[in-house]
Amino acid sequence: MGLDQYAESRTDKGVVTDLSYWRKHNSLQGWMENLWTLKTGKTKDEFNCCDLRLEEEDLKSLRSAVEGGTLPVTEGFFYGADTSQDLSRMKDDLNFIDDALEAVEGGEEVFYSCSW
């Protein structure tokens, strides 16, 4: 058991493309939990197994956080060790952001979801 995280794009014709998968990337989860609360008004405890739509501005904000090393320290029973300063994840995160922005610019919707 543990934190599994997914990102996918969807077209208006129902085509789904996997963009990324993370395992126990808790600082990314914390950033997404904050965005979830901001967008929905719901708590992070209500975020499990839900879709969070990522807009262009969200992805650009995420890029700034990744590049600036400001992903939040995030704790949770299933989340694993802190990844907020794990530079080895930065390349994968930035690749995801590039792919997601390309999908959004192409008219697709991008979603993040998690399961713990």
Packing angle between helix 26-40 and helix 56-68, nearest 10 degrees?
A: 140
Instruction: Record the tokens describing residue 15, joined without a space.
Output: 């085509």
**Model confidence pLDDT, tens digit, residues 14-71:** 999 999 999 999 999 999 999 999 999 999 999 999 999 999 999 999 999 999 999 9
Residue that wins the pLDDT comparison between 79 and 2? 2
**Model confidence pLDDT, tens digit, residues 66-87:** 999 999 988 877 777 777 777 7
Helix and strand tally (H, E) in the chain? 3, 4
Instruction: Record the tokens describing residue 4, joined without a space.
Output: 């599994």
Q: What pLDDT score does 112 carry?
A: 98
Q: What pLDDT score does 77 carry?
A: 73
Q: Give Cβ neighbours of residue 13 (< 8 Å, ≥ 6 apart).
A: none
Whole-model pTM over 0.75: yes
Give dist(CA 19, CA 43) in Å, integer: 26
All structural domains of the chain with their residue ranges:
4-8+24-115
Instruction: Record the tokens describing residue 26, joined without a space.
Output: 């808790």
